[in-house]
Amino acid sequence: MESVRNYFLQLLLVVLFLFIPIYASAINFVQIITLEKNGSGIIKLIYSEKESLVKEKNYVVSNLPFSKDNSAEYFNSSNTNIRLFEVGKDPNDNSRTQITVSMNFKAITDINKMKALTEAKVNFTETDTGTVFVYVITPEFTKANSIDYLLTILTYNGEVKSSNGKIEGKNILWSRSKQNIDAKKVMDFIATVKSEPKTTSNSSNSSDGDKKSCGLFGLELPIILLGGLVISRKLRKSKK
């Protein structure tokens, strides 16, 4: 299963980056969040910047590290730890350095504790209508990191009820191009999911059930790829 997930992930990233617009001296920022019902999960970030600027900034651009030497400072915290950190070339532009990093978290709000994402605020709160996921991208975050393209994908291992993003099964996509990013305004990525009943049982049945979903890397992948293509084509048309 792990090898299948890795294969589909590589395929997904290739397709996504083929349609991400490239801007000079600006960061393209992709984040893929896999969220379990208990609030734990994995966050993967892919970001790139001009290699000349990365070297000029000593391999740290704002709060984003571009070398493994200082990655722990920006991504490890009391409840998060790095699973993977890779340095490579942007598939669209060899003059850009691309970072792929993924972290485990015990609770989705642990993302707030990472130095790299201190200006991005995440909440996961129970309400009368369900459990609400809110990811606030602050003006401070987009401005400090010179974000010119932002793509967020949330895969929830449960029922998604509603969202202000594009829902495809268990996956939700939010995409913002340069034209839709205002460094003076907050961007809210919101999703309401079905609240899970609280139990005190130690039975392994529930954990086994959670493991059955392949999330982003399972059957929903073709839909995600199609969604990404549609969004990208719409962005292209809007520029003309």
Segment 123-129 shows an average pLDDT of: 92
- Provide the percentage of residues in the chain whose pLDDT is more than 90: 50
The pLDDT tens digits for 81-95 are 999 999 999 998 999
Number of domains in the chain: 1
The pLDDT tens digits for 163-214 are 999 999 889 999 888 777 776 788 999 999 998 876 654 544 544 544 444 4
81 within domain boundaries: no
Q: What does pTM read for this prediction? A: 0.72
93 within domain boundaries: no
Query: How high is the mean pLDDT of the chain?
Result: 79
Taken in order 145, 48, 171, 126, the sign of the CA dihedral is negative
DSSP states of 116-143 as a string? GGTTEEEEEEEETTEEEEEEEE-HHHHH
| Range with lowest mean pLDDT among 17-26, 81-90, 97-106 | 17-26
d(CA 39, CA 124): 8
198 within domain boundaries: yes
pLDDT bin (cut points 50, 70, 90) of residue 14 is very low
pLDDT bin (cut points 50, 70, 90) of residue 4 is very low
d(CA 147, CA 140): 10
pLDDT bin (cut points 50, 70, 90) of residue 7 is very low
Bigger pLDDT: 34 vs 144: 34
pLDDT of residue 92: 87
Put the strands of the sheet holding 187-193 in their side by side order. Answer: 120-127, 130-137, 187-193, 160-163
Range of the domain at 116: 2-21+29-48+106-239
Segment 132-143 shows an average pLDDT of: 89
166 within domain boundaries: yes
pLDDT of residue 43: 96
